[in-house]
Amino acid sequence: MRDKVRFGVIGCGVIGPWHARAIAACDEAELVAVADINVEKAKALAEQHGGIPYHKDYHEMLRRDDLDAVSVCLPSGMHGEATIAAARAGKHVLCEKPLEITLEKVDAMIEAARKNKVKLGSIFQWRTYPISIKAREAVRSGLLGKMVLGDAYLKYYRSQAYYSSADWRGTWKYDGGGALMNQGVHGIDVLLWIMGDVQSVFARTAALARKIEVEDTAVAVLKFKSGAFGVIEGTTSSNPGELSTLTFHGEKGTIIMTETSFLRWAVTDEEDGHAQEQEEMKKIEGETKTGVADPREIGIRGHIIQVHDLVRAIKGNRDPMVTGESARKSVQLILAIYESSRTGKDVTIG
């Protein structure tokens, strides 16, 4: 294996430049090419990174001999096609969230990666934050005792102009959903990563503020396989938008966190004791930049960590930190929420 893993970026729109910068920031990776059907975007990104080659057709880029891996940064409903093509070309893949918008496509991506012996990782940068890792350790270790509630309040703001800025935004065909599938999927992934799998869900979704096919507002009541209950509220209709907040309640304590910090860390060691605030836990580091009101305002640190991780997974022949199988779970839950909203029934997740 060469000292550096050579990357290409497929899709040079909003998130593609974040991947390019993250790759450039990794001393074990090298950006060697980019591709976008909009040649001007591809050329501009290529010039920002030293005048590297650019392509209009990503299939052409995949034929390069000096390419080991790609970042897939296309609209969500096009992730599967590009990932499968990359896997068949023997290239490892780091795919933006959500992995895809149907379970059939997700499963085909996972199978293609397995069959062609390449790594498939998915971007979920919330999992890289020290606060997320610490919260997961607390819940999974039993620090909070038996879990009773796990909630996610994911209140973003996206204007009508945002949805009108590209013909794929807010569509079932390419976005696969709205406030949950595009924005809220980050918080939903972390909720599942910390609390475990969901058994069933009852939900309501609608476009209440925007003229789009998909939902801008959603509420869901969860029953986790552990027996705990939970709530998801997801919007792009809250103005001006709020920090995403996750809450975890157990018999022995409570953790409340945003992307940036712990708002509460209260626990007790006593069997029937009253949980006391642990102020020192609030000093643990979170993310400093969020995309609550503008997707271009997200931080890059998580992307850098995940690029590093994929490089080490390739070199060490291990799974990436967010596997295709793990990334599948958030898509599965969101699709169950949409089904519940359509049918008006509680949906059991297989």
Q: Where are the domains of the chain?
A: 5-123+299-323, 126-297+331-348
CA neighbor of 194 nearest in space, from 150, 230, 232: 150
Is the distance from CB of 93 to CB of 86 less than 8 angstroms? Answer: yes
Task: Residues 126-297+331-348: name the CATH superfamily.
Answer: Dihydrodipicolinate Reductase; domain 2 (3.30.360.10)
Q: Examine domains 5-123+299-323 and 126-297+331-348 and report if their fold is the same.
A: no
Listed in sequence order, the residues at least 6 apart from 279 whose beta carbon sits closer than 8 Å to its beta carbon are: none
Query: What's the pLDDT tens digit per position in 304-347?
Result: 999 999 999 999 999 999 999 999 999 999 999 999 999 999 99
Is the distance from CB of 25 to CB of 304 less than 8 angstroms? Answer: yes
**Global confidence as pTM:** 0.96
Query: What's the pLDDT tens digit per position in 181-217?
Result: 999 999 999 999 999 999 999 999 999 999 999 999 9
DSSP-derived letter for residue 150 is: E
- Distance between CA atoms of 102 and 290, rounded to whole angstroms? 27
CATH architecture of residue range(s) 5-123+299-323: 3-Layer(aba) Sandwich (3.40)
Q: Mean pLDDT for each 10-residue chunk of the chain (350 residues)?
A: 90 96 97 98 98 98 98 98 98 98 98 98 96 97 98 97 94 97 97 98 98 98 98 97 97 96 95 92 82 80 97 98 98 98 96
